[in-house]
Amino acid sequence: MALLEINDLRTSFFTDAGEVKAVNGISFQLDHGKVLGIVGESGSGKSVTAYSIMQILASTGKIVGGSIKLDGQELVNAGEKTMRKVRGNKVSIIFQDPMTSLNPTHTIGHQIMESILLHTGRNKKQAYERAVEMLRLVNINEPEKRMKQYPHELSGGMRQRVVIAMALACEPDILIADEPTTALDVTIQAQILDLMSSLQKELGMAIIMITHDLGVVAQMCDEVIVMYAGSICEQGTADEIFYNPRHEYTKGLMRSIPTAGTFGQRLSPIAGTPIDLLNLPAGCPFAPRCDAAMKICIKQKADRMILNDCHYAACWLNVKDKIESGELSPAKEDSNE
Amino acid sequence: MSEMTRKPLVEVKDLKKYFDINVGMFKTLPLKAVDGVSFDIYRGETVGLVGESGCGKTTVGRTLLHLYTPTSGQIIYDGKEIKTSADIHEFRKKATMVFQDPYSSLNPRMTVSDIIAEPLDIHKMYSSPEERRQKVLELMEHVGLNSEHASRYAHEFSGGQRQRIGIARSLAVNPEFIVCDEPVSALDVSIQAQVINMFGELQDKLGLTYLFIAHDLLVVRHISSRIAVMYLGKMVELTSAAEIYERPLHPYSKALMSAVPMPDPKIARESHRIPLSGDIPSPLHAPSGCPFRTRCAYACERCAMEVPEFREIEKDHFVACHRVEEIN
Ligand SMILES: Nc1ncnc2c1ncn2[C@@H]1O[C@H](COP(=O)(O)OP(=O)(O)OP(=O)(O)O)[C@@H](O)[C@H]1O
Ligand SMILES: Nc1ncnc2c1ncn2[C@@H]1O[C@H](COP(=O)(O)OP(=O)(O)O)[C@@H](O)[C@H]1O
Ligand code: SF4
Ligand code: SF4
Ligand SMILES: [Mg+2]
Ligand SMILES: [Mg+2]
């Protein structure tokens, strides 16, 4: 059994302008000790996926369908009492802005200890020792002294390390990191990523690494999910996604980034503008920007197709020959709900 | 890129910009945002400017354009020093700036057409409303905006489109030189690529010269012919874009380049990072001598005593480090 199993998850926001289908039927699994990356452009549903797992959505947001199973236990509609046990204990989350997780009016020590006292059976003295140990683990120098400091006395990189210490103090099975280094400089980003990698190996937890930076994904992740407009385009090992992309959006993304091979040349950007979730097209959400779009793409969203045991993609091009031979047509194909 | 002649278009000599910061009731300290920077930019080239947040990149760009009054130093444009307010007024027609944030840098109450035409209005660069309209449409075409958008408001546009509006506006005065301050940082990868290409096309078409500030080192590498690395208000290295990637010589540049996460799993697995401990010091309390010495693995006594000179170690390769010859 996978540690986390998500099936056809749907999360919407009900706004004045209408229903925003932020997460529109996604399925994936996460095993113990794995690092899973979620990439996609802003608004593609990465954070909403994370917030759905934690059930920390804004009041206008609601999980409208699907299932989230953690260690076999269903979390959708499980109730706040269950979720409170899950959060921090089994699943921790860190955000782009460390101040989301830190209280400016309390010392670092107070905050880490509070989290330990809340989630574990430790007493105050043990919690103090654990907090110091965690600060040392995330390479904060003079941890005893730092315990007495307030968040504003630390740099951005140090704050993010404190937040990681807090998130890991209760030894969660899963750490969700939502753009944890996006606000940081590359040298500090490198420190944080190295830290996360070594802690992950040491503690054996799983990480969901949400980012729009393909460099971070290449460095950190065993597996990668590519999202577009609330759907998963493609999922596979990092090598499969980078070297053998099988969805047109992923291919476009890979061509858009400057790399050693593009220096001095023009890039090949994806044409068009990002999608409007209030007006999702009927078929493949990427069809309006896709150079390879076929008739079927406009009518019907492609299913998750298994390409090999470590690679899925939802793109009709993978069965182009069957479509051309008439074996597959939108009328006959009704497995899409 | 276009042929460049070896005559600098922009010459910056020992430029300093200090801000007075209140640190007590009657006490101020000079914040040395830019502390003695010298470099040239040649006609038709793109110089990339990189370094950690707060190291002074934006301040260099703004001071260079006299948007900030320099504390000291010289800015020479096309052979002529820019000093008097008349110089500056003329200079503004030749040198403009594109800003990072496409969301806040455009007035939401103005139409696209008025935003783009504002510099034309300021410099009275048309003789009839029709000429103004024509110029705006031409500018919109340059940046790939649809002419139907002219009467709409900036807030109706996506990030990438707003950045195009901002670029059209900076092109209005027919500048030769543009300081681009993080112009693609707020954009998604796919849109970022569109805008990066546009910078290249405009450069070819209009013969522009750029100072391109960005923290994404791959973007800078892609767009620049030469790259300058800053640290704590000082320039530590300046050389060709290829050289800075393949053979950085300054200890800080080495660490910076090795920290770039490469979007390629195999390269990422094989790459060796030069770890950099600690944080960048506050520019209010910059270390004596070499600004990098508190984080440098090679720091010695001399590094605390003497500011290393920014010197040409090899042809067209400038480095500010006492020990650069020994450690490379
Ligand atoms: N108007 C100002 N008044 C006071 N201090 C300033 C001012 N503008 C910049 N500074 C300070 O000068 C230093 C350099 O700032 P600058 O904006 O040039 O950095 P930067 O390299 O562009 O950073 P970033 O990558 O974050 O944009 C910083 O310490 C900053 O706080
Ligand atoms: N509180 C909210 N109210 C309405 N819409 C929201 C809210 N939070 C997120 N959304 C919408 O959900 C979509 C996905 O958002 P998000 O998951 O934050 O994207 P990202 O992939 O950038 O993390 C976006 O269109 C966003 O505008
Ligand atoms: S399903 Fe069709 S429209 Fe969608 S990415 Fe594939 S080819 Fe393009
Ligand atoms: S001058 Fe000294 S401290 Fe500065 S970079 Fe060189 S060796 Fe390091
Ligand atoms: Mg997000
Ligand atoms: Mg700046």
Asked if residue B306 belongs to a domain, the reply is no
Pairing relationship of beta strands A73-74 and A61-70 according to DSSP bridges: antiparallel
- Indicate whether B86 and B128 sit together in one domain: no
E-strand stretches of A31-128: 35-39, 61-70, 73-74, 91-94
Residue range of the domain that includes B255: 3-94+176-273
User: Residue for token digits 């006292």?
Assistant: A117
Chain A interface residues facing chain B, Cβ-Cβ under 8 Å?
A: 41-42, 155, 157-158, 185-191, 193-194, 212-219, 238-239, 242-243, 252-259, 262-264, 266-271, 273-274
Q: Looking at ligand 4, which atom is closest to the CA of residue B300? A: 2
Q: Is residue B293 part of a domain?
A: no
Q: Which among B193, B221, B265 has CB closest to A269?
A: B193
Same-domain check for residues B31 and B114: no
- B302 in any annotated domain: no
Cα angle for residues A76, A78, A81 (degrees, 5° grid): 135
Which among B193, B260, B265 has the least Cβ separation from residue A186?
B260
- Asked whether residue B249 falls in the same domain as residue B140, the answer is no
Does B241 contact A at CB distance below 8 Å? yes
Q: For residue A124, what are the contacts with CB-CB under 8 A and spacing of at least 6?
A: A113, A117
Mean pLDDT of chain A: 92
Cα nearest neighbour of B256 on chain A: A187
In a domain, B66, yes or no: yes
Domain match, B192 and B224 both: yes
CA of B181 to the centre of ligand 6 (A): 7
With an 8 Å Cβ cutoff, is B272 touching chain A? no
Q: List the B311-314 sheet strands across, edge first.
A: B95-98, B177-181, B209-213, B46-50, B226-231, B234-240, B317-319, B311-314
Domain boundary among B174, B200, B226: B174
Can you give the pLDDT at residue B55?
92
B149 plus B233 within the same structural domain: no
What is the ipTM score, two decimals? 0.86
Q: Do B259 and A238 touch (CB under 8 A)?
A: no
Is there a contact between A191 and B264 if contact means CB atoms under 8 Å apart? no
CB-based contacts of A74, cutoff 8 Å, min separation 6: A67, A68
Compute the average pLDDT of residues A238-266: 91
Are the C-beta atoms of A304 and A312 separated by less than 8 Å? yes
Which residue, of B129, B145, B174, is where some domain finishes?
B174
Residues in chain B: 328
Domain annotation covers residue B34: yes
Same domain, B161 and B65: no
Domain assignment of residue B203, yes or no: yes
**Most B CBs within 10 Å: which of A96, A162, A185, as the mutation test of the B interface?**
A185
Instruction: List pLDDT tens digits, range B190-203.
Output: 888 999 999 999 99
Looking at the DSSP assignment, which residues form a beta bridge with residue B212? Answer: B48, B180
Distance B308 CA to ligand 4 centre (A): 8
- B164 and B185 in a single domain? The answer is no
**Amino acid B260: pLDDT:** 92
Number of domains in chain B: 2
The β-bridge relationship of strands B72-77 and B80-81 is: antiparallel
Q: Domain for residue B223, yes or no?
A: yes
**One domain for residues B49 and B131:** no
Does one domain contain both B90 and B208?
A: yes
What is the amino acid identity at position B74? Q
The span from the first CA to the last CA of chain A, in angstroms, equals 26
Contact between A207 and A174 under an 8 Å Cβ cutoff? The reply is yes
Domain boundary among B139, B174, B209: B174
Whether residue B152 sits in one domain with residue B207: no
Question: Which of helix, strand or coil describes residue A110?
Answer: helix
Q: Nearest chain A Cα to B280, which residue?
A: A155
- Phi/psi for B137 (5° steps) reads -65, -40
The angle, 0 to 180 degrees and rounded to 10, between the axes of the packed helices A124-137 and A156-168 is 130
| pLDDT digits 0-9 by tens, A35-91 | 999 999 888 999 999 999 999 999 999 999 999 999 999 999 999 999 999 998 899
| Ligand 6 geometric centre to CA of B58 (Å) | 4
**Each residue's pLDDT expressed in tens, for chain B with a length of 328 residues:** 444 457 899 999 999 999 998 888 888 889 999 999 999 999 999 999 999 888 999 999 999 999 999 999 999 999 999 999 999 999 999 999 998 776 777 888 899 999 999 999 999 999 999 999 999 999 998 888 888 889 999 888 878 888 889 999 999 999 999 999 999 888 888 888 999 999 999 999 999 999 999 988 999 999 999 999 999 999 999 999 999 999 999 999 999 999 999 999 999 988 888 988 777 888 888 999 999 999 999 999 999 999 999 999 999 999 999 999 999 9
Same domain, B252 and B264: yes
The whole-model pTM stands at: 0.90
Residue B151 domain-assigned (yes or no) = yes
CB atoms under 10 Å from CB of B284, counted, come to 12
Residue B126 shares a structural domain with residue B87: no
CB contact under 8 Å between A214 and B263, yes or no, is yes
CATH of the domain at B30: 3.40.50.300
